[in-house]
Amino acid sequence: MTDPIAEDNTPPSSTKKPGLVRRLYDWVLHWADTPYGLHALAIITVAEASVFPIPPDPLLIALCLGAAGRAFRFAAVATVASVLGGMLGYGIGAMIWASASGFFFDYVPGVTPAAFANAQGFYDQWDFWAVFFAGLTPFPYKVITISAGVFGINFPVFMLASAVSRGFKYFVLAALIYRFGDTIRSFIDRYFGVLAWVFGLLIVGGFLLIEVIL
């Protein structure tokens, strides 16, 4: 009698282990299913503005979807935490960058010499608006916060731009989910970066128009 197991030549299925960034992403997202989601959101948002590679946006979206009535509270926590994290990043750049830059360039995704060169060019030309736009977009915010300290841009200007841009981003996310629920999720994942740029350009255009009129 033929052994069916012996005749089975199908190769065993191989499961590829997710990469580090994907594992970190899943780790961030899993906090939405725990009682500590809000605390995790605050801690991850602080860290993301200075050293952590994964943005808090997926966790914020998941928390808002799970409790839409608290969406604006989640957005407020994320905004405050991001501004605090920005202060930490600024301090890293101002005080320890000379001795720690090698670590960040080698081990923190998104923090590269090329990114810093771009950031310096932005500051030379735009100052407030460089921080504002970076706070809205998927550009690694830690590059902006640390480089702001390295290049010594005006701290109150940095704080104001951080608060306005991060608050705008997180509250728009919360408002979209509060209004449309899960139906807006795929749209946010796909187009929010583009929308952030459009909204930012409209705001800049409004300021320029006021300046021309006055």
Q: What per-residue confidence (pLDDT) applies to 160? A: 92
- Quote the pLDDT of residue 43: 95
pLDDT per residue over 141-176, tens digit each? 888 898 889 888 889 999 999 999 899 889 988 998
Average pLDDT over residues 74-101: 91
Structure tokens belonging to residue 155: 């701290």
Of 201 and 150, the structure prediction assigns the larger pLDDT to 150
Name the residue with higher pLDDT: 49 or 196.
49
Q: At what angle do helices 71-91 and 57-66 cross, to 10 degrees?
A: 160
Provide the whole-model pTM.
Answer: 0.74
DSSP conformation letters of 27-76: HHHHGGGSTTHHHHHHHHHHHHTTT-SS-SHHHHHHHHHH-GGGHHHHHH
Report residue 47's pLDDT band, with 50, 70 and 90 as the boundaries.
Answer: very high
- Whether 165 and 139 have beta carbons less than 8 Å apart is answered as no
Length of the chain: 214
How is residue 180 written in tokens? 């449309």
CA–CA separation, 66 and 28 (whole Å) = 15
Contact 36, 71 (CB under 8 A): no
- Does the structure show a pLDDT above 70 at 9? no
Share of the chain above pLDDT 90, in %: 23
Q: Give the per-residue pLDDT at 39.
A: 94
CA–CA separation, 131 and 128 (whole Å): 6
